[in-house]
Amino acid sequence: MSGQGEQERCFEVRAIGRVESPLTARAGAPRQGDEGGPEAWLVFDAPVERGLRDLTAGQEVLLLTWLDRADREVLAVHPRGDRSRPETGVFATRSPDRPNPIGLHRVTVLAVDGLRLRVSGLEAIDGTPVLDVKPVLPGVGER
């Protein structure tokens, strides 16, 4: 941040679980979950178990992850790694490389097994820290 009297602000975020996926490297992962993201397990830490209690199979959720293998110094990329496309600021892309590498994934819960959720269409790689889960909200008139 710049400006007189401003200081860099830091926030504490803690992982509440991790991804268990057959994807083990960024190079083999699809760019988006709807481009071939496999089924994966989300394994949560015991202290958050109560927060999982109303999740059900068939429900769509937004999963927030920490893309721990991202390059946090990147501010511009060629979208999808295609050098024929113009360089674009990361905030106008879904690049995992960015100052705060928070992953956003829309997935469907397939199964709930205690501290484990089976989800479909997740492009996050094995071991990725899970930060939060939020329901996909219906339209305004349906809430």
CA-based nearest residue to 131, from 98, 94, 92, 103: 103
pLDDT at 1: 46
Task: Please name each of the domains of the chain with its CATH number.
Answer: 17-136 (2.40.30.70)
Residues 6+ apart with CB under 8 A from 123: 23, 29, 30, 31, 32, 33, 35, 37, 105
The whole-chain average pLDDT of the chain stands at: 88
15-57 pLDDT tens trace: 999 999 998 876 766 556 565 578 999 999 999 999 999 999 9
**pTM for this model (two decimals):** 0.84
- The mean pLDDT of 1-10, rounded to a whole number, is 66
- The mean pLDDT of 67-83, rounded to a whole number, is 88
Under 8 Å between Cβ of 111 and 46 = no
- Written as six digits, the tokens of 72 are 């946090």
Q: Return d(Cα 134, Cα 143) in angstroms, integer.
A: 15
